[in-house]
Amino acid sequence: MSGCAVGPDFQPAAVPEATGYVPGKLASPGSERGGPRVASQHFVTGEDVSARWWAAFKSRGLNELVRQSVDHNPNLQAAEAAIKIAQYNAQAQRGLFYPQVTGNSTSTNNLIANPGQVPPIPTTGPQSQFTLFTNQLTVSYVPDVWGANVRAVESLDATTEQQLFQLEAAYLALTSNVVTAAIQEASLRGQIAATQHIIAIERNLLDILKRQFDLGQAARADVLAQDAALAQAEELLPPLDKQLAQQRDLLTALAGQLSGDEIVQKFDLANIRLPTNLPVSLPSKLVDQRPDVRAAEANMHSASAQVGVAIAARLPNFVLSANGGSVAYNIGQSFLPGTGFYTLAAGATAPIFDGFTLYYKQKAAEAALEQAEAQYRATVITAFQNVADALRALQTDTRAVQAAVRAEVAAKASLDIVQQQLNAGQVNQLAVLNAQQTYLTAAVVRVQSEAGRLSDTAALFMALGGNWPAGCRTPDWRQCAMQDDANLTAVAKTE
């Protein structure tokens, strides 16, 4: 018996009219001419992101770890429980569309001091004690004349939808964190390998200087300087080893395991491929597939419905009720004719003066809607910023990697020449130390640059929303979302 639903009818937010994420035409990452050759990347405008985007890195171990994390991460399980809570609350609210029926049976023991005034109770003296049995059924119904319950259900349904998108956001954050953490582990292994390589070189140079010192061809100060340089290089290893161990702990936790049950997958840069073709979804597609944007829109929908609830609270409320049953002096008589009773009632209540309480509650609901609309716009702006930041980073990463490779090659060549000169006794120790430090720095920067390029690629996939698979908003969403990932050697759609 809903007459109408007061309050605003929610309209989805308009799609932004933007045609791109950066001013002008989007240029693919480019490298400097004449520099060392590095892997290239290309932006494919208008291409959709693959649902299993991490497969573009072509790492079997990474695919396995992502699947393991999705299956066992407790944060996803908590997000699933939040959806159930919202769904059950919405179902509970729907119960108010129907009459509420309650049954009640009471037995009371009574003592009457003046029984003559309450016939036909049998009496044998100045007082009488008796038991009264009452069985009754009460039916009450509140017609949703102003649509207050309709709006309340609408609000809770929107909250359920918001929790669904929160699950998608948790799924996207988890997969992105796993990929980024794996790349960071590979980076640390690369930095450790580079440091160990320079340590081996410095030990060899120290041995050369010690032999020359024994032959009287080198000063003791040169030997000590080289020994100090070796010690400084060795000092870099323990912090890197600590970071690597902690990174392994992070990956183990993301996989939903205790730290004592360390994951078996290990990552290095040689086993993680750089995706070549990078999809760049259209702006209109971005707002449809970014889960945080969709969650903000659902929150706006919920706030809109709450305005209707607040308006309906200020209008008259109607209650229909019926009460029927029987009364007798023993339980057996309560089912006999003549013991029954019933009551039918209809009532209306309306606020007349409440100190403007309901008025200001409506104003608060309207302000909450304004807040939700502003938060939605802020979320959209942030989404566009995230994509633009990732695109800008990738545009410079290629040149950064190219410069790092060139610096490493030059530093290694310089160190080789210095080492040869040292063997011939033709160079001073300061030149040796400078060449060693330059090569160590260049080798580490090259590893960090390559890892940064991989991480920025993962950041682009995350910024674009990861593209939740269509039709996966079901209780079996894990199997649906990961169905194509069973083939761990599969190439992502963008490849």
What pLDDT, on a 0 to 100 scale, did the predictor assign at position 493?
A: 41
What pLDDT, on a 0 to 100 scale, did the predictor assign at position 484?
A: 55
Q: Give the pairing type, strands 100-112 and 340-349.
A: unpaired
Which DSSP string do the residues of 245-300 spell out, in sequence order?
A: HHHHHHHHHHTT--TTS--S----GGGSPPPSEEEE--HHHHHHH-HHHHHHHHHH
What backbone phi and psi angles, to 5 degrees, belong to 82? Answer: -65, -35
Report d(CA 401, CA 38) in Å as an integer. Answer: 7
Report d(CA 46, CA 29) in Å as an integer. Answer: 17
Report d(CA 295, CA 49) in Å as an integer. Answer: 20
Phi-psi region at 469: left, alpha or beta (left = phi > 0; alpha = psi -120 to 50): beta
DSSP state for residue 119 in the 8-state scheme: T
Q: Which domains does the chain have, with CATH numbers?
A: 42-98+146-313+357-486 (1.20.1600.10)
Report the predicted TM-score, pTM, of the whole model to 2 decimal places.
0.85
Report d(CA 70, CA 479) in Å as an integer. Answer: 10
Closest CA to 389 of 27, 23, 21, 46: 21
State pLDDT tens for residues 440-493.
999 999 999 999 999 999 999 999 998 887 667 666 677 777 765 544 434 434
Q: How many CB atoms lie within 10 A of CB 60?
A: 12
Closest CA to 394 of 446, 451, 457: 457
What pLDDT, on a 0 to 100 scale, did the predictor assign at position 275?
A: 93
Q: For the chain, which residues score pLDDT lower than 50?
A: 1-2, 118, 486-495
**Joined tokens for residue 172:** 């996207």
